[in-house]
C-alpha cells in the first residue's frame, strides 16, 4: 500500500511524464513543418516513449492501492528559433526530469517504501540514457555549426537513430 505522500509524489511524476510526451510531440510537429523529417520522426518516437513511461507509473500507482490521477497539462512551447535551440531545451528538460526522478527516489527511500524504490530504479537508468543521448545530439549539432550539408546529414542520421532504436 502506498502512503499518501508517495502517491502524491508519483502522481506528480505522472504529470511530468505526460508533459514530457507533449513537449516531444510539439517538437516533432515543429520539426516536421520545417522539413526536418528525421528529427520529427525521432521526436514522435520520443513522445510515444514518454507516454509509455507515464502509463507505467499509472499502472504502478493503481496496482499498489493508490489512485493515479490524470491532471491538466501545461501547454508546451510550439515554436523554436532553430533546431539547435530546440535540442538545447530538450537537454535541459531531460535534466529536469532526472532531478524529479531523483527526488522521488529520495522520498521512497526516506519513507522506507522499498518496493517503490526498486520500481524507480528503472527510471533512474532510463534518465541516464536520455541525458546522455540528448548531450550526444547537442555535441553533434555543435560540430555541424551553420553547415547546411551537415544539417542534411544530421537529419538523415536522426531518422536512422529512430529506425534502429528499440521500444522500451
Residue 94 is assigned to a ligand binding site: yes
| Total Cβ atoms within 10 A of residue 27 | 28
- 90 neighbors 134 (Cβ within 8 angstroms): yes
Residue 50 is assigned to a ligand binding site: yes
- 18 neighbors 47 (Cβ within 8 angstroms): no
- Return d(Cα 158, Cα 62) in angstroms, integer: 36
Residue 17 is assigned to a ligand binding site: yes
Residue 63 is assigned to a ligand binding site: no
DSSP H helices, 145-167, are 148-164
Residue 46 is assigned to a ligand binding site: no
- The binding site for Fe cation comprises 17, 50, 53, 94, 127
Feature table: binding site: 17, 50, 53, 94, 127
Amino acid at each position: 500500500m502506498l502512503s499518501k505522500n508517495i502517491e502524491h509524489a508519483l502522481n506528480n511524476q505522472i504529470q511530468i511524464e505526460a508533459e514530457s510526451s507533449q513537449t516531444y510531440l510539439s517538437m516533432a510537429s515543429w520539426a516536421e513543418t520545417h522539413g526536418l523529417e528525421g528529427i520529427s520522426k525521432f521526436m514522435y518516437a520520443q513522445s510515444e516513449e514518454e507516454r509509455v513511461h507515464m502509463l507505467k507509473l499509472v499502472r504502478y500507482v493503481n496496482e499498489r492501492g493508490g489512485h493515479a490521477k490524470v491532471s491538466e497539462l501545461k501547454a508546451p512551447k510550439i515554436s523554436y528559433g532553430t533546431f539547435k535551440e530546440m535540442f538545447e531545451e530538450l537537454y535541459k528538460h531531460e535534466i529536469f526530469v532526472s532531478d524529479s526522478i531523483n527526488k522521488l527516489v529520495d522520498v521512497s527511500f526516506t519513507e522506507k517504501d522499498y518496493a517503490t524504490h526498486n520500481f524507480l530504479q528503472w527510471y533512474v537508468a532510463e534518465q541516464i540514457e536520455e541525458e546522455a543521448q540528448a548531450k550526444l545530439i547537442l555535441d553533434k549539432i555543435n560540430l555541424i555549426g551553420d553547415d547546411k550539408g551537415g544539417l542534411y546529414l544530421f537529419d538523415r542520421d536522426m531518422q536512422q537513430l529512430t529506425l534502429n532504436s528499440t521500444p522500451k
